[in-house]
Amino acid sequence: MIRSITRKKPEEEVDRLLTGLGRIFLIGCGTCATLTHTGGAPEVEQMKEHLTGKGKLVTGGTVLPVACDNLTGEALREFGRQMHQADALLVMSCAFGVQTVARQTKAMVVPALDTLFIGKETGPGLFDEVCTQCGTCIIGETGGICPVTTCHKGLVNGPCGGTNNGKCEIEIKNGSRILWDLGECQNPKSKCQMKSQCLNVRMCLWIHSFVSKGHHGTHNSASFARSGHLAFDIRAFVVSYLWLIRHLRIYSAPCSVNYCMTR
């Protein structure tokens, strides 16, 4: 089952977003956020305790069946009085749910979660990172395999120097073959261009390279619930930054930054 995977914002950030707002109404999501343990009934109760401890008044709370559903407004009508008494609605759902609540209630809305990626549940509390919704899909050129999510470093132009006999250095214990071998064996008839041409490097995708990942991009929902910050690999970041300075020229675009390979 495909879900929108979220992570709790740091308590410090939530407190900052609620500065000057004394009365809060809590809204959770009974679907994705409940499955990832970031916005279900237990998490809403924990947030209530946290806010109360900070001296704020929680006027009420609920866990919507599906926060991003078109019927969200109808589901919240029975809490109209409690919501009217609140200075803001603290929504514990994905960004889609937050925007849906804001659009249908016309109230001040504050998000309590960060939306990470589209994930497929592969086990209890485990989700494979299927898609990062980067907006620049290249799987048509890579044999139907996404290098951004499949490769731990998100490399789109060949394996890194850490490969060993065609095996990924991170997955070496599991004997997992690198992405560029998988591209040929998954579908021999596919027009996989991973070894025949150089794909454009896009900085907008690189942030996902530094997110801490488990097996094959599998994330544990409990760790996301507890995590306050992205786990950055400083060494990888520095190496990538130096490589960019040496090999790439930067061009600005209205809504993104494009990088062109210099030859």
Count of H helices and E strands in the chain?
10, 10
Sequence-distant (6+) residues with CB within 8 A of 161 are none
Are residues 25 and 87 both part of a single domain? yes
User: Alpha carbon of 248 to those of 97, 161, 197, 228: distances in Å?
Assistant: 38, 19, 17, 33
What is the domain-level CATH number for residue 221? 3.40.50.11860
Are residues 61 and 110 both part of a single domain? yes
In which region does residue 144 sit, left (phi positive, over 0), alpha (psi from -120 to 50) or beta (all else)?
left
Are residues 174 and 218 both part of a single domain? no
> What's the pTM?
0.61
Q: Which residues pair with 258 in a beta bridge?
A: 202, 251
Q: CA quadruple 27, 224, 66, 30: dihedral positive or negative?
A: negative
Q: Residue 107's pLDDT is what?
A: 85
Are residues 174 and 62 both part of a single domain? no
Are residues 91 and 214 both part of a single domain? yes
Helix H, strand E, coil C: the string for 5-71 is EEEECCHHHHHHHCCCCCEEEEEEECCHHHHCCCCCHHHHHHHHHHHHHCCCEEEEEEEECCCCCCC
Are residues 73 and 183 both part of a single domain? no
Return the ∠ at Cα 230 (arms to 131 and 120), rounded to 5°: 25
Surface-to-core class of residue 219, CB atoms within 10 Å of its CB (0-12 exposed, 13-18 middle, 19+ buried): buried
Domain count of the chain?
2
Q: Residue 212's pLDDT is what?
A: 38
| Residue at which a domain ends, from 195, 230, 245 | 195
| Residue at which a domain ends, from 195, 215, 233 | 195
Residue from 101, 94, 115 nearest 31 by CA: 94
Q: CA quadruple 155, 125, 49, 56: dihedral positive or negative?
A: positive
225: containing domain: 1-128+202-263
Mean pLDDT in each 10-residue stretch from start to end of the chain (263 residues)? 84 93 95 92 96 95 91 90 94 91 88 84 73 70 70 72 72 52 46 51 45 44 43 55 54 30 27
In which region does residue 154 sit, left (phi positive, over 0), alpha (psi from -120 to 50) or beta (all else)?
left
Instruction: Please give the structure tokens belonging to residue 162.
Output: 């850490």
Are residues 97 and 61 both part of a single domain? yes
Q: Residue 4's pLDDT is what?
A: 85
Place of tokens 């740091």: 10
User: Alpha carbon of 174 to those of 42, 155, 212, 220, 231: distances in Å?
Assistant: 36, 20, 18, 18, 23
